[in-house]
A and B are shown apart, each in its own frame.
Chain A
Amino acid sequence: MASRRKAQPEKDGRLIETDVLVVGGGPSAAWAALSAAETGVRVVLVDKGYHGTSGATAPSNTGTWCVPPGEGRAASVEQRFKRTAGLADRRWMLRAADQAYENLLKLVEWGYPFPSEEDGSLYIANLRGPDYMRFVRQRVQKAGVTILDHHPILELLGDDNHIGGAAGLVRRSGASFRVSAGAVVLATGGCAFFERILGGTGLTGDGSLFAAEAGASLSGMEFTGKYTLSPHGSSLNKGLPFRWATFYRENGEVLRNAHGDPVTNGIGGGERQVAEALLTGPVYARLDLAEPAMQDWLRRGQPNCFQPYDRMGINPFEQRFRVELKYEGTVRGTGGIRIVSSDCGTGVAGLYVAGDAASRENVTGGISGGGAINASWAIASGWWAGHGAAHHARRRQSRDAARLQPLGTAGLRGSGKRDDVDLAATAQAVHDEIVPLDKSYWRTAAALESSRRTLDDIWSRLGQTGPATGIERLRARELASVTANARWTVAAALLRTESRGVHRRRDFPGEDDAQASRITVSGLGKVTAAREILALETAREG
């Protein structure tokens, strides 16, 4: 983990001036940048990685929620709404379907190589990650957006009551840079809690930390009990092939459910039984329910899924292989920065949010938006946030970069009282409070309370550690961010004393109608969780 680069004193570094700053390099960042640039303002996009390969989409193959206009759309929303554990919002679903569809048509117009149906029409409901992200990078460049790759943002900058930019570091040198902007879009993706999933390394929930430091709140952080099957030890958290799997115990015995039927469909009904079985020992799978035609489609349509098998030298349709459930935090789980306006504003002036960095409850409620909704949400929310930020920036023409103050806390401005915090070991400790199946697939008050204490202690130690320098600042901030995300998750999960969507409490296995509202969390030093409806009522009364 340690870097060989020399630590450098972090002076303020280069200053870049722009109208809209987009933080991130995945699809939501690309759409935000395109949308803002379309209005004629100057746009800078800064990515921790390389815009085109970074994030969760680039290494994957994402299906979209692609609903053409017409009578079918309302029915499609209604059908989907039934699965959202009562917490989605039909208006948001409808407008997301509309905006995503419109933008998919833009891809057609721009010449993205969609496959054709048998009748010659284009099939636009799927975007192959590496191709899609490479394609949109070229569009972003063409739109005149300045792209800074390998330039992670470390903190936001603000004046009295506006967000006015951000500061970060250059990975190549460890040097600092600052961007002064009229508005900022956070498109930093979800938080993978240091789990090794596709695209996961850079996904440390940084945007949530930045937003919380600026006073924004989060929502849906309890809907993070999301895992996906993968070949054991690999990075391939892609569930689709497991639709055609049968599962086995180590001794070769078929895994059976309570009725004595074999457990199948690992991305549907079978997942829970596989998860239970994994608590007691290794589980194996074989994709033996895929007919030859399906085997061919899977191989050609999801080639990344087959990389582990091909490299291990096994045939997954014929041979059994060991599997695990990889934790996906807020990447395929649903929580994130709370949205308060239709242009994806966060409630903090000048700060907008898009994609997985935002709570996706508006469109997917308490369940995972993986498989279709999230990709469309990244497109639609990116578009709205880009417009929102551009309009805000236009209204703030006179800005003074000299008045900007840095808003970062832990990892950047610790008290320096202690120097015994090992970043790698602490990262592992935070991972271990959240990732195991008996911490986040099934939750209990006792386990959550114990995690809360451990994580609070880690947070206070991080606050007492001296500021990191040079390139190490990135590690320190990622750790602070994952720790903060873990604390919000635990706080929300403790408050929701029922099971709903991808939040499962062993001690409260049923859904409780009285709790059919969202849970908001906020704060860093002290974390507070509150039910949204109660908070609104209190606000009205007071």
Chain B
Amino acid sequence: MIEVISTDRCIRCDICERICPAFVFDRDETGLPVIARQDDCQTCFLCEIYCPTDALYVAEDAHGPTGISEAEVVERGLFGTYARSLGWSRGRAGGAQNDPTRHIRVAQV
């Protein structure tokens, strides 16, 4: 589930708060998102790809926080990995035209 919001990277644009389908975020007085309802997170990783500055990190465990720190996310290069593998960048969609899934579906049968 959602675990890390990088205060340094975040530009307080409020996109994550608006687009999170599970309504997980609130904002503090400075406009920084806060994880207000963590247990509602559906671990869909979509806030990560919508964030224009790769400031969010969603850990793999859907049932509870893993306790990963921002430092570890940085060190392991995990900010923005899902967006990059899709071809999304700075919160903008991209890369669907390069999706090779057709090869998988042909081989599947």
| Residues of A in contact with B (beta carbons under 8 Å apart) | 1, 3-4, 49-50, 52-55, 58-59, 61, 63, 112-117, 123, 125-126, 128, 130-132, 134-135, 149-150, 171, 196, 198-202, 231, 233-235, 240, 243, 293-294, 296-304, 306-308, 310-313
Write out the residue numbers on chain B whose beta carbons fall within 8 Å of the beta carbon of A201.
21-22, 40-42
Q: A59 contacts B62, CB within 8 Å? A: no
Residues facing A in B36-56 (CB within 8 A) are 36-37, 39-46, 49-50
Residue of A53, A63, A112, A296 near B101 (CB, 8 A) is A63
Q: Which of A149, A198, A201 neighbours the largest number of chain B CB atoms within 10 Å of its CB?
A: A201
Chain A residue numbers with a CB within 8 Å of B49 are 130
Partner among B18, B21, B81, B102 whose Cβ is within 8 Å of the Cβ of A123: B102
Interface residues as binary, B59-98 with A (CB distance below 8 Å gives 1, 0 otherwise): 1111100000000000010100110011010000101111
A307 to B41, CA, bound (A): 16
Scoring B36, B45, B76, B98 by chain A CB atoms within 10 A of each residue's CB, the highest score goes to: B45
Select one of A49, A113, A135, A233 contacting B23, CB under 8 A. A49
The CA of A131 and the CA of B92, in the complex, are separated in Å by 10
Query: In whole angstroms, how far apart are the Cα atoms of A359 and B100 in the complex?
Result: 32
- A301 is contacted by which of B18, B44, B78, B100 (Cβ under 8 Å)? B100
Q: With a CB–CB cut-off of 8 A, which chain B residues contact A312?
A: 60
B30 at the interface (CB under 8 A from A): no
B44 touches A59 (CB 8 A): yes
A-B contact pairs, 8 of them (CB 8 A): A59-B46, A61-B99, A125-B105, A128-B86, A196-B43, A294-B103, A301-B103, A312-B60
Whether the Cβ atoms of A3 and B42 lie closer than 8 Å is: no
Of chain B, the residue at the smallest CB distance from A195 is B62
Given contacts A196-B62, A302-B101, A303-B85, contact A115 B96 (CB under 8 A): yes
**Sorted from nearest, which 9 A-B pairs have the closest CB atoms?**
A49-B21, A235-B43, A301-B101, A303-B85, A54-B21, A59-B44, A235-B62, A201-B42, A308-B60
Partner of A128, one of B50, B96, B104, B107: B96
A-B contact sample (14 more), CB < 8 A, given A114-B96, A234-B60, A302-B104 = A52-B19, A128-B96, A130-B49, A131-B86, A196-B63, A202-B22, A231-B60, A297-B100, A297-B104, A302-B101, A303-B85, A303-B86, A307-B60, A311-B78
Partner pick for B96 among A55, A131, A149, A298, CB 8 A cutoff? A131
Contact for B104 among A58, A115, A240, A310, CB less than 8 A = A240
| A50 contacts B21, C-beta separation under 8 Å | yes
B: contact size bracket:
35 or more
- A250 CB, min distance to chain B CBs, angstroms: 20
Closest chain B residue, CB of each to CB of A231: B60
Q: Which residues of A contact B104 (CB under 8 A)?
A: 240, 294, 297-298, 301-302
Q: What A residues does B35 contact at CB under 8 A?
A: none
Residues in A with CB closer than 8 Å to B59 are: 311
B37: nearest chain-A partner, CB-CB: A3
CA distance A280 to B81 in the complex (A): 36
- Closest A residue by C-beta to B47: A53
Q: How far is the CB of A320 from chain B (nearest CB, A)?
A: 16
- Given A233-B60, A311-B78 in contact, is the A198-B101 Cβ separation under 8 Å? no
Known contacts A126-B101, A300-B85, A302-B101; decide if A53 and B46 are in contact (CB<8 Å).
yes
Which of chain A's residues has its CB closest to B49's CB?
A130
A126-B102, A131-B96, A302-B101 are contacts. A58–B21 as well, Cβ < 8 Å?
Answer: yes
Interface pair A243/B42, CB less than 8 Å apart: no
Nearest-Cβ distance from residue B60 to partner chain A, whole angstroms: 4
Whether a CB of chain A sits under 8 angstroms from the CB of B20 is: yes
Contacts of B44 on A, CB cut-off 8 Å? 53, 58-59, 198-199, 235
A63-B37 in contact given A53-B20, A198-B42, A234-B60 (Cβ < 8 Å): no
Interface contact B76-A307, CB-CB below 8 Å? no
CB of B98 within 8 A of CB of A233, answer no
Given contacts A113-B97, A115-B97, A116-B97, contact A313 B76 (CB under 8 A): yes
CB of B33 to closest CB in A, whole Å: 14
In the assembled complex, the Cα of A293 lies from the Cα of B106 at a distance in Å of: 13
CB distance from B66 to the nearest CB of A (A): 9
Q: Which residue of B lies closest to A296 (CB)?
A: B100
Contact of A59 among B45, B99, B107, B108 (CB under 8 A): B45
Query: Which residues of the other chain, A, contact B95 by a CB distance below 8 angstroms?
Result: 131
* In the bound complex, CA of A113 to CA of B88 (Å): 13
Q: A47 — nearest CB in chain B belongs to which residue?
A: B21
